[in-house]
Amino acid sequence: MDETVQYGLALATFVFLVATTLSIVGVVSDRLWTNVALLIGVGAGSFFLGRATLSIDDLLRRDV
């Protein structure tokens, strides 16, 4: 996996965990958390899938 993708996924995971913790504690509203989760899931997910060195077809063809 490309180093840029690894750093990006680590950052997205960190932001996701911080937002989840703040939502559970009650610092931010659930409505805000929903928007953050959608932003991370759609935005970061599609960005890092685009940056990945392996395509989806390569992952599906690979033996587990």
The whole-model pTM stands at 0.51
Q: What is the domain range of residue 54?
A: 3-61
Look at residue 43 and tell me whether its pLDDT is greater than 60.
Answer: yes
Distance between CA atoms of 64 and 44, rounded to whole angstroms? Answer: 26
Report the pLDDT averaged over residues 18-39.
74
User: What is the number of domains present in the chain?
Assistant: 1
Residue 26 pLDDT: 77
With bands split at pLDDT 50, 70 and 90, how would you rate the model's confidence at 31?
A: confident
Residue 44 pLDDT: 74
Look at residue 64 and tell me whether its pLDDT is greater than 60.
Answer: no
Look at residue 4 and tell me whether its pLDDT is greater than 70.
Answer: no
